[in-house]
Structure 1
Amino acid sequence: MKFFIDFASSSLNKYGEELCGDKVEFYHDEKKFIAVLSDGLGSGVKANILATLTAKIALTMLKEGLSIEEVVDTVIHTLPVCSQRNLAYSTFTIIKVASDGMAYVAEFDNPSIFFLSDREIKKIEWCTTEINGRKIKESRFKLKEKDILVFVSDGVVHAGVGKVLNLGWQWEDIEKYLKENTNKNMSAKTVTNLLLGACDQLYMQQPGDDTTVATIKAVMPKKAILFSGPPIDPEMDNEIVKKIMSTYGRRIVCGGTAGNIVARELNEEVKTSFKVVDKDIPPIGYIKGIDLVTEGVLTIRKATEILEKVKMATDLKFLYEEDGASKLARMLYEDCTHVKFIIGRAINPAHQNPDFPNELSIKLYVLNELKNTLSGLGKIIEVEFY
């Protein structure tokens, strides 16, 4: 059984700091998922540099299949030494998940991860390896569908220290909180926001340390296909529509011309809805057999802006507006893990001077921005041009 990894992370900066001393990097393809959370020594600019170097080095090496020993050795010999403490120090948590759900975890001086399965916290068996004087905890175990892994920086276990709580939020307290307040139907983003929001409250909105929460959830893949723009060769219209209709998953059409092509090939009508009137976003349409029909450039651009907000948002209420851009953003974020873009490259004179090269097309630009934003949210993207 092949799983997709739903992933989300978010951070609170230490009060008074513009940069976060924690860093999360992740990568995934059809075969593997890798995430690294690093916490740099101290806070501010120096911590940010240490954490960023650690996370990026570790992720790059792990992607290439190098061992944890090589990663740790490289990090130790690469990090700049702090002039005040005479140390080059950054903690990390590394998680690798194969498509069959086999997980590998390596931790160095970060709080231990939380493994939630059916609303129970599962105990993880660890073994300890010493690499260049650093004690690294390692574990391997199998995930099943809807299992959740939560990993955090030490700002989470310090939440509330000296304010609401004398000794901070202990690991066992966080374990209890997750067990009582999460369920297997929550998304990774929801779990992340829930825990980070609790930390913010304990800190009374003035975090005493950089605080980061990252969440991994094993889910079954959900696919979508998005068609926008007429193909250069009109003879390809029928092939494109057949491809759309053969997709098992969400079917999305963006753009008036694309909508007319699909309706014509299906021998259906495009019906426009005026239930929601928005001066900035054109109305949506309906075609039988298609899940969502929207206008093109304006709606795609606005949907991209909405999806960018998702990355750092602690409340996703803005995703549930009824305009076309919100519907598009919500469908792409919540209802699919894999998105195939079918992009026609014929130039629409309404968007572009037809004498300009295709690379400068506004339509192609906004679709590329949407693709990049979805990739940044952890979606697997495939693009076909016609």
Structure 2
Amino acid sequence: MKFFIDFATGSLNKQGEELCGDKVEFVQEEESFIAVLSDGLGSGVKANILATLTAKIAITMLKEGLSIEEVVDTIIHTLPVCSVRKLAYSTFTIIKVNKEGMVYVVEFDNPSVFFLRNNQVIPLDTTVKEINGRQIKESQFELQEKDILVFVSDGVIHAGAGMILNLGWSWKEVANYLQTVTDRETTAKMVTNLLLGVCEDLYIKRPGDDTTVAAIKAITPKKATLLSGPPVDKNRDKEMISHLMHTIGKKIVCGGTAANMVARELGTEIKTSFEMPDPNIPPIGYIRGIDLVTEGILTLKGAVERLERVKVSKELDFLYAGDGASQLARILFEDCTHIKMLIGRAINPAHQNPDFPNELSIKLHVLHRLEQVLISLGKIVEVEYY
């Protein structure tokens, strides 16, 4: 793609509800990005089911290349209008970005998308189309680097209604706030956290409606390569190290055996730090030409736990701790968009549960968890085994 799409989302559940009545689904691929935000009628379990159905139907059909007309038609026939309130059972916003950087926005009864360019909210030029008696709004335009799109459920523009504000937080007021707090360096995660934080304050921490924010930002792709574990065949050591050293971007080595192999093949030595900011995480090491050298299983597991916290945390200060797991998580979340994982399948006996076969080793399990959490954060992940 011309740009990488930095993506983040977060929600506040209506007070007293365990499930959110809004749902966000997205798919990040090399050739396209698609995101769907759906708002189910009402709140709680019923709304969650309706929103999930809508988002799943839309994302699956769009991913397979079906037209918006077919998507809307399917949703309409799957979720009919409420006979009592005469309202659609689920509203939605769809944003699709193709490899050339062209954006296609579809809106059905959700608040209008906020489009920020150079810190200014620019109204989208929309056309209205009728599909099976339902009116949807469409917009198309070309992305520029650092552009931000924010799409929300109506819990955002109703925030504070009957509490701090008489009529809630209007679309225009939200737009003014976004212009105040964003700049060209603001990440999608920062936008999402800032907006949700204000909504929570306006609701006095007792949300009167499900409230969801999703944000995307067009950024230049940044790459990283992570090597963990030596190959099964020792004759491939040189090949694996050569692959690492010829990649573009950050270079990371996880595991003592892997670090010794890299140092040996590069004709250098490992220097080990004696500092342990976190007593549960072993100290990092240093190899000339490698951006980060860490211990294996414990550090990888710690990094996975920190990345899982990223998805739900409003503050990311924990990524800036000095231990190896925090440093690894920070690089993978903030400093790269594409991650290549070079995984050696030689099994360290110390990491092997005797009740499991080799392919289910602890190391491979943790690395698989790392791959999955990175994908869930919108990263493009490629895995190669040795």
Moved more, 52-61 or 117-126: 117-126
User: What whole-Å deviation, never above 9, does each CA across 1:246-266 have from its counterpart, x for those lacking one?
Assistant: 111010000000000000011
Amino acid at match of 1:317: D
Amino acid at match of 1:44: G
Q: CA RMSD in A?
A: 1.5
Q: Which residue of 2 aligns with 1:182?
A: 182
**Is this contact kept in 2: 1:36–1:59, CA < 8 A?**
yes
Q: CA deviation at 1:83?
A: 8.3
Moved more, 314-323 or 250-259: 314-323
Q: Which residue of 1 aligns with 2:244?
A: 244
Q: CA deviation at 1:181?
A: 1.0
Q: Which residue of 1 aligns with 2:170?
A: 170
1:150 aligns with 2:150: yes
**Is this contact kept in 2: 1:151–1:215, CA < 8 A?**
yes
Moved more, 341-350 or 77-86: 77-86
1:304 aligns with 2:335: no
Q: C-alpha distance in 2, partners of 1:231/1:207?
A: 52
1:265 aligns with 2:274: no
Q: CA deviation at 1:245?
A: 1.0
Q: CA deviation at 1:99?
A: 2.1
Amino acid at match of 1:4: F
Q: Which residue of 2 aligns with 1:233?
A: 233
Moved more, 352-361 or 302-311: 352-361
Q: Which residue of 2 aligns with 1:52?
A: 52
User: What whole-Å deviation, never above 9, does each CA across 1:6-60 have from its counterpart, x for those lacking one?
Assistant: 0000000001111000000000211000000000000001100000000000000
Amino acid at match of 1:258: A
SS in 2 for 1:14: coil
Q: Which residue of 1 aligns with 2:77?
A: 77
1:319 aligns with 2:311: no
Q: Which residue of 2 aligns with 1:253?
A: 253
Q: Which residue of 1 aligns with 2:125?
A: 125
User: What whole-Å deviation, never above 9, does each CA across 1:80-116 have from its counterpart, x for those lacking one?
Assistant: 7768758651000000001221000000000000110
Q: C-alpha distance in 2, partners of 1:368/1:64?
A: 26
Amino acid at match of 1:112: S
Amino acid at match of 2:207: P
SS in 2 for 1:2: coil
Overall identity of the aligned pairs, in %: 69
Q: Which residue of 2 aligns with 1:61?
A: 61
Over 3 Å counting, the alpha-carbon distance change for 1:354 and 1:263 in structure 2 is farther
Q: Which residue of 2 aligns with 1:335?
A: 335
Q: CA deviation at 1:267?
A: 0.9
Q: C-alpha distance in 2, partners of 1:212/1:322?
A: 33
Q: Which residue of 2 aligns with 1:274?
A: 274
1:214 aligns with 2:214: yes
User: What whole-Å deviation, never above 9, does each CA across 1:309-357 have from its counterpart, x for those lacking one?
Assistant: 1111111111111111001101100000000000000110111157953
Q: C-alpha distance in 2, partners of 1:114/1:278?
A: 41
SS in 1 for 2:349: coil
Normalised by the length of structure 1, the TM-score is 0.97
Amino acid at match of 1:21: G
SS in 2 for 1:185: coil
Q: Which residue of 1 aligns with 2:352?
A: 352
Structure 2 residue runs without a partner (length 5+): none
User: What whole-Å deviation, never above 9, does each CA across 1:170-225 have from its counterpart, x for those lacking one?
Assistant: 01101100001111101100011011101111111111100000000001110000
Q: Which residue of 1 aligns with 2:27?
A: 27
Over 3 Å counting, the alpha-carbon distance change for 1:169 and 1:56 in structure 2 is same
SS in 2 for 1:106: strand
Amino acid at match of 1:92: F
Q: C-alpha distance in 2, partners of 1:81/1:170?
A: 26
**Is this contact kept in 1: 2:277–2:321, CA < 8 A?**
no
Normalised by the length of structure 2, the TM-score is 0.97
Moved more, 356-365 or 158-167: 356-365
Moved more, 155-164 or 345-354: 345-354
1:290 aligns with 2:284: no
Q: CA deviation at 1:278?
A: 2.7
SS in 2 for 1:27: strand
**Is this contact kept in 1: 2:69–2:131, CA < 8 A?**
yes
Q: Which residue of 2 aligns with 1:113?
A: 113
Q: C-alpha distance in 1, partners of 2:180/2:62?
A: 35
1:102 aligns with 2:82: no
Q: Which residue of 2 aligns with 1:139?
A: 139
Q: C-alpha distance in 2, partners of 1:59/1:339?
A: 24
Q: CA deviation at 1:79?
A: 2.5
Q: Which residue of 2 aligns with 1:196?
A: 196
Q: C-alpha distance in 1, partners of 2:252/2:84?
A: 56
Over 3 Å counting, the alpha-carbon distance change for 1:342 and 1:162 in structure 2 is same
SS in 2 for 1:366: helix
The total of aligned residue pairs comes to 386
